Structure 1
Amino acid sequence: MISGLEHLVPATIILVIVAGFCAGWVDAVVGGGGLIQLPALLLVPGISPVQALATNKMGSIFGTTTSAVTYSRRVHPDLKTALPMAGVALAGSFCGAIVATSLPAAVFKPVIIAALAAVAIFTALHPTAGTLTRLRYTGVRHFGAAAGIGLVIGFYDGLIGPGTGSFLVIAMVGLLGYSFLAASAKAKIVNLATNLGALLFFLPHGAVLWGLGLVLGAANMAGGYLGARTAISKGSRFVRIVFLMVVAVLILKLGYDVLQENLSGS
């Protein structure tokens, strides 16, 4: 038995494995796997929210690394854009994790719901958006816009997290002009950096449950590999459909959270 899992019943370990695999698949296709993985971790007996968040980041790194490598080998994303964007996103995520210790996530949730709804409406009303790569900017303006996206979404990932991959995809499609498939390939590289940035903050605080994180990471890797292969074979149209589904679930989940918080506070 892996250290740290001795107190867990087999059903709980199976739940974590299944959740990690499904989350890895969703994350590789369009992002948003944290919607599956983080709630599953919160069901583990004795785990604190901070431990769940930190362990979720550790597991996600395995999946995003696997899907990033798979995309890089087959789609060949523009690393001149992706790598600087990832570097800025890592710094933003680290800062977001620091702020997360002092600001309640509930403050931002209504704003996020509104942003997601706008993203869903835009994507649904523009069926040709993201089918082909038509870059909106060139040169310094392109790299500046990419860095801005990386910084803002990286900060968001460290602060709250849900839907980071989806936000990265739609920002690269809507603001930069990439296709959904090309955006997903770059999003994995940037998302890997945001996960690492948050994890660098959590590690010194001893919040990561290593045994659980390694099991979760293995499942996430398998899901990430299969998800990346599926997205590559199905193309941008498939990624767009999955994207709309994930965004819809994100809106419902965050909306439910806000409703519950309002009811409990009244």
Structure 2
Amino acid sequence: MPDISLTTVVLLCLAAALAGWIDAVVGGGGLLLLPALLIGFPNLAPTYALGTNKAVAITGTSIAAVTYARRTRLDPALAARLAGLALLSAGGGALFASAVNKEILQPLIMVVLLGVAAFVVWKPRFGTEATGREVTRKRRLLALAVAGIGVAFYDGLIGPGTGTFLVISLVAILHLDMLTASATAKVVNVGTNLGALLVFGAAGTVLWKLAAGMAAFNMAGGWIGAHMAVRKGSGFVRAVLLVVVTALVLRLAYDQWWS
């Protein structure tokens, strides 16, 4: 592992804790954790930041997934299918991570996120409660394609905002409330993190010692965030979603035009 000061380690661990909380509530912890790793190791290849981020994130996401599974109306069969497909798709995305063209990808992500924010604001009841409508086989297949393949591939490729994209797609396609969608998204996110981590680990682009320390803080943040989301309900998750989407857009805009 490269030389790193104690101050930097402490700051990265605090960033990991906050990222775990954000991920557990609505997703998007990579917005904080990935830039923190890039800043902490400015001379290291970006793939090391991506790989270490996955090694840290999978711990907090796993804790959150278990907490949600015990306390929400999660459909375990659907979540398992999505996670299995996501594992493979995210691994495929990780294989192409070194070829990412940020100049093209970031503006596209910003447009999508702005559309998401506008839609959630325009539809104030979006995701606040389940619609009760029957989920058809066609919609389940669409969810597998969008969340299990498309969003998962993106997570392996670059990552930030994955949980947010998963929650939005599950609410829109399967008519879930925000809390149930967030619970399902956590299980899927475990699959995406594991798929990408296997690829980055095999390539040797994970700082395992640093990741182990940060993982403990990420798990604590994930546990706290999941319990808060379950206790406060879908309205709280929706509010955090809007904050995270806004922060994602601002962060991407800064990276694109001012950094």
Q: Say which of 6, 11, 22 aligns to 1:26.
A: 22
Match of 1:237 in 2: 235
What whole-Å deviation, never above 9, does each CA across 1:46-86 have from its counterpart, x for those lacking one? 54311111000000000000000011111141112111111
RMSD: 1.5
Deviation at 1:228, TM superposition (A): 0.1
Deviation at 1:39, TM superposition (A): 1.4
Normalising to structure 1: TM-score of the pair? 0.92
In structure 2, C-alpha distance between the alignment counterparts of 1:173 and 1:48, rounded to whole Å: 36
Normalising to structure 2: TM-score of the pair? 0.94
- Correspondences of 1:65-80 after superposition (within 5 Å): 65-80=62-77
Bigger mean CA deviation after superposition, 162-171 or 47-56: 47-56
From the superposition, tell whether residues 30 and 240 of structure 1 become closer, same or farther in structure 2 (CA, over 3 Å).
same
Q: SS of the counterpart of 1:211?
A: helix
In structure 2, C-alpha distance between the alignment counterparts of 1:85 and 1:159, rounded to whole Å: 18
Match of 2:244 in 1: 246
Checking the alignment, whether the CA contact within 8 Å between 2:65 and 2:186 is kept in structure 1 is yes
Match of 1:98 in 2: 95
Checking the alignment, whether the CA contact within 8 Å between 2:28 and 2:161 is kept in structure 1 is yes
What whole-Å deviation, never above 9, does each CA across 1:18-61 have from its counterpart, x for those lacking one? 00000000000000001111111122245431111100000000
Deviation at 1:139, TM superposition (A): 4.2
Deviation at 1:135, TM superposition (A): 5.5
What whole-Å deviation, never above 9, does each CA across 1:189-221 have from its counterpart, x for those lacking one? 001111111111111111111110101111100
In structure 1, C-alpha distance between the alignment counterparts of 2:65 and 2:237, rounded to whole Å: 16
1:133 aligned onto 2:130: yes
In structure 2, C-alpha distance between the alignment counterparts of 1:248 and 1:142, rounded to whole Å: 28
Q: Which amino acid aligns with 1:168?
A: L
1:120 aligned onto 2:109: no
Match of 1:17 in 2: 13
Match of 2:51 in 1: 54
From the superposition, tell whether residues 19 and 103 of structure 1 become closer, same or farther in structure 2 (CA, over 3 Å).
closer
Match of 1:264 in 2: none
- Correspondences of 1:187-266 after superposition (within 5 Å): 187-260=185-258
Match of 2:104 in 1: 107
Q: Which amino acid aligns with 1:248?
A: T
For structure 1, list consecutive stretches of 5 or more residues without a partner in the other structure.
262-266
Checking the alignment, whether the CA contact within 8 Å between 2:20 and 2:225 is kept in structure 1 is yes
For structure 2, list consecutive stretches of 5 or more residues without a partner in the other structure.
none
Bigger mean CA deviation after superposition, 80-89 or 231-240: 80-89
Q: Which amino acid aligns with 1:228?
A: A
Q: Say which of 136, 140, 144 aligns to 1:143.
A: 140
Match of 2:86 in 1: 89
Match of 2:31 in 1: 35
- Count of equivalent residues: 257
In structure 1, C-alpha distance between the alignment counterparts of 2:24 and 2:85, rounded to whole Å: 21
Match of 1:64 in 2: 61
Checking the alignment, whether the CA contact within 8 Å between 1:24 and 1:33 is kept in structure 2 is yes
Checking the alignment, whether the CA contact within 8 Å between 2:12 and 2:214 is kept in structure 1 is yes
